[in-house]
Structure 1
Amino acid sequence: MKKNICIVGIGYIGLPTAAMFSSYGHKVIGVDINENVVNVLNKGKITITEPGLEEFVKKVVSSGNLSASIVPKESDVFIICVPTPINKDKTANIELVISATKSIVPVLKKGNIVVLESTSPVGTTEEVIKPILENSGLNIGKDVLLGYSPERVIPGNIIYELKHNDRVVGGINEKSANEIKELYKTIVDGNIYTTNCKTAELCKLMENTYRDVNIALANELAMICEDLGINVWDVIKYCNKHPRVNIHNPGPGVGGHCLAVDPWFIVEKEPKLAKIIGLSRETNDFMPNFIFSKIEKLLKDIKYDKKITILGATYKANIDDMRESPIIKLVNILEDNGYKVEIYYTFIKDNNLVNEDLLDSCKDSDLIILGVDHDEFKDLPWDEIKKVVRGNIVLDTRNFFNENKIKSSGFIYKLLGKM
């Protein structure tokens, strides 16, 4: 069962996947067009942040089971794990998927397996990948097996979830699905379910869309509660006492490479039918604008140049990933309207957007906003912060802070979803 595996794209998903296969004795080559990523990996190091990953990678590189290259090499299995970002018109950008597929055609041979893991619009595997692979002259589905198997992991716990989560495998035929299932069984302890490619592609999109729609419901409820003068957090708390109700928490928006992107892939394919999905995306995308309107009201009496300190810039807590972060969108809105903005967070290194000094970032600020509920923000020195700020307002967008503690330091505490 030990295979030579070529994984194209060694980022947030491809690298942990490569390390996992390597740890079970497969010989893995990680391919990336970024020479720095390749060079760093060949030294047993990584360029991304994920708990436990660097030690894991160092071990499998030292064993000789994992190495990196800028071009694909002949292998038994090819797994495509490149990003699929969103275009400005909210359509899927699959250029990297196309180029990655083209790159493996010259080294494709009879008996190979090709798996797409990148989140993609329905039909990508059969309508885009398969025709490109056919340029090899091989029969795709007979000479070369092809399928789609998306990851189901969460940043911060990727290594554990790669191994333990259930997985869906879609094949262009039954043989492809079954062979890909056998491959992933070597690293997955969870259940693996087989189906066709389009079903697997839509499953991946809908898993994230389900969460996005529920967050949109919570965000809409937060805006309604502010208009009605009701505390949304109380409404959610009491609603969720019902045995069949589980309303999500509101926030400043939805980010990341999945929830903020994947629903648009469905809307792109079915614009006339995906009404709830599209409206939910618009609601969540609007939240930075709603936060901005709240800021404008809080600081309406200040005539001089206004400075705001935002705590956290990533799309979720305790990671360094800022892809599609609603906080960055909020920063852009503020700066476009003449505000000076400082972002504080120590977890992001060597980024000119972020100040790693808390008191320096808060100096002369008129308003402090909690953008992301990172653990390190639980016990901030509010008495010391009060000495350096110019204003006295704290806006909590996550219902994360201890209101009484902040008030005892002389601040006015404001909360998203509560007037």
Structure 2
Amino acid sequence: MLNKISIIGLGYIGLPTATLFASRKLRVIGVDVSAAVVETINRGDIHIVEPELDILVRAAVGSGYLRATTSVERADAFVIAVPTPLAADHKPDLSYIEAAAKSIAPVLEKGNLVVLESTSSVGSTELLARWMSEIRPELSFPHQAGETSDIRIAHCPERVLPGRIVHELVANDRVIGGMTSKCSEAAIALYRLVVQGRCIVTDVRTAEMCKLAENSFRDVNVAFANELSMVCDKLGIDVWELIALANRHPRVNILQPGCGVGGHCIAVDPWFIVDSAPEEAQLIRTARNVNDAKPDWVIGKVDEAVTQLVNSGMPAEDICIACLGISYKPDIDDLRESPALEIARTLAKRRDTMVAIVEPNLKTLPEDLRLEKVAFMRFEEAILEANIVVLLVDHAEFKNAKPKLKSAQVLIDTRGIWKDAK
């Protein structure tokens, strides 16, 4: 019987997940290492931008079904939704998962279910089981006792789109990989409480690989579009027109290029596969390298524009570069692995030109961008002030605008939405 559920990690996935379980009138304990996050949630507020989430959190906290804390408590089921970043050498950093495992282990009781939702390299769920078993040798775990284990463990990767997380957590199919069939059954019973999509069972390693494969597929396709944009620029071809024409073929669907690839999934997950099979994952590695190189290519285009203005007689210190958008995708505040943020940081740290940053989804700039020659501006102000306009993220505010730039202004549109601006 699932009466109390604990969600470990209250970020972009953990908090919506906790809230949905609480909305079904289940007692939910949300755990996060940040006291500020815990305090915010217990006030009924949220620390991230996600449609509908603020209303749901307020209702869940107000009704008493959701409570946040910094300490793990006993529960019937534990869902781990902590970060899985990359180390400097592109190797998976599983330290957050290990820390979660070691925090859960002391409160585990026979019959408990532990689900790893964090995107992770193949074999991580088995490591999770071993880390917990080392602390609780009196309990049996699936890698030791199989179907008769005291503790059930499964992997269930989230597959949601920021901006639609609440809807997709309910509507999307879920891939569930239990370490045993009884582990899978226990996980299905948990997710059936909130998921309307299908719960599809596989083994634990396939479930781990499924999320990595999905995001690597997308990364490879984006890399093709990004590489095509650089080729077309060199050959004097409008890549946006080219893609529109090519996509009229009934079996061609080229994606739209941008300034790179960001977010904690597509920009990270392919490296997990490369780390596991470095000799075999050649295409996946190449796609990552192409997408990681795109911000430098954009910076190169800005440098060309700066040189052009300086050669025309304008001092570099008088040049203002407007960076439009620094989140990793449109209409959200998420800066994780954002190529637009990387571009803005690089330009700002040079300090030889003024940099104006427009980000309608943030109230303040990240601390490392609060520099002397960096200004946080409104869209209209930046368009008037800038000599070079660099459109990095196609936020709705930018797409709906119809700017008419002056002939002396340089436009670098990485999203192809302002064809008529000049």
TM-score (ref. length: structure 1): 0.92
Verify the 8 A CA contact 1:346 1:356 in the aligned structure 2.
no
For 1:355, the equivalent position in structure 2 comes to 376
For 2:261, the equivalent position in structure 1 comes to 254
Aligned pair 1:285/2:292, yes or no? yes
Correspondence for 2:342 among 313, 317, 329? 329
- Secondary structure of 2:364's aligned partner: coil
Once residues 250 and 15 of structure 1 are traced to their aligned partners in structure 2, the CA distance between those partners, rounded to angstroms, is: 31
Q: 1:2, CA displacement in angstroms?
A: 4.1
Once residues 396 and 57 of structure 1 are traced to their aligned partners in structure 2, the CA distance between those partners, rounded to angstroms, is: 38
Change (3 A) 1:54 1:356: farther
Aligned pair 1:400/2:421, yes or no? no
For 1:310, the equivalent position in structure 2 comes to 323
Once residues 301 and 247 of structure 1 are traced to their aligned partners in structure 2, the CA distance between those partners, rounded to angstroms, is: 33
Change (3 A) 1:12 1:311: same
- Secondary structure of 2:177's aligned partner: strand
Match runs of 1:5-404 below 5 Å: 5-126=5-126, 128-134=127-133, 135-137=135-137, 138-141=139-142, 142-303=149-310, 304-305=315-316, 306-337=319-350, 338-351=352-365, 353=369, 355-362=376-383, 364-380=385-401, 382=403, 391-401=408-418, 403-404=419-420
- Secondary structure of 1:323's aligned partner: coil
> Which consecutive segments of 4 or more residues in structure 1 shift more than 6 A?
none
Once residues 398 and 301 of structure 1 are traced to their aligned partners in structure 2, the CA distance between those partners, rounded to angstroms, is: 22
Deviation readout 1:45-74 (Å, 9 max, x if unpaired): 111110010100111111111101101101
- Secondary structure of 1:299's aligned partner: helix
Which amino acid in 1 is paired with 2:390? I
Which amino acid in 2 is paired with 1:286? A
Once residues 256 and 239 of structure 2 are traced to their aligned partners in structure 1, the CA distance between those partners, rounded to angstroms, is: 9
Verify the 8 A CA contact 1:239 1:247 in the aligned structure 2.
yes
Q: 1:44, CA displacement in angstroms?
A: 1.1
Once residues 381 and 255 of structure 2 are traced to their aligned partners in structure 1, the CA distance between those partners, rounded to angstroms, is: 34
Once residues 102 and 91 of structure 1 are traced to their aligned partners in structure 2, the CA distance between those partners, rounded to angstroms, is: 22
Deviation readout 1:188-207 (Å, 9 max, x if unpaired): 11011111111000001111
Deviation readout 1:225-253 (Å, 9 max, x if unpaired): 12222222222112212222111111100
Q: 1:292, CA displacement in angstroms?
A: 1.5
User: Any unmatched runs of 5+ in structure 2?
Assistant: 143-148, 370-374
Q: 1:151, CA displacement in angstroms?
A: 0.6
Verify the 8 A CA contact 1:40 1:46 in the aligned structure 2.
yes
Q: 1:332, CA displacement in angstroms?
A: 2.9
Which amino acid in 2 is paired with 1:131? R
Q: 1:350, CA displacement in angstroms?
A: 2.5
Once residues 244 and 363 of structure 1 are traced to their aligned partners in structure 2, the CA distance between those partners, rounded to angstroms, is: 43
- Secondary structure of 1:296's aligned partner: helix
Once residues 15 and 327 of structure 2 are traced to their aligned partners in structure 1, the CA distance between those partners, rounded to angstroms, is: 20
Q: CA RMSD of the aligned region, Å?
A: 1.7
Verify the 8 A CA contact 2:321 2:355 in the aligned structure 1.
yes
- Secondary structure of 1:194's aligned partner: strand
Verify the 8 A CA contact 1:364 1:391 in the aligned structure 2.
no
Verify the 8 A CA contact 1:85 1:93 in the aligned structure 2.
yes
Once residues 2 and 136 of structure 2 are traced to their aligned partners in structure 1, the CA distance between those partners, rounded to angstroms, is: 25
Once residues 235 and 377 of structure 1 are traced to their aligned partners in structure 2, the CA distance between those partners, rounded to angstroms, is: 23
- Secondary structure of 1:301's aligned partner: helix
Verify the 8 A CA contact 1:117 1:149 in the aligned structure 2.
yes
What is the aligned length?
400
Compare 355-364 and 229-238 and name the one that shifted more: 355-364
Change (3 A) 1:398 1:296: same
TM-score (ref. length: structure 2): 0.91
Which amino acid in 2 is paired with 1:45? D
Which amino acid in 2 is paired with 1:334? L
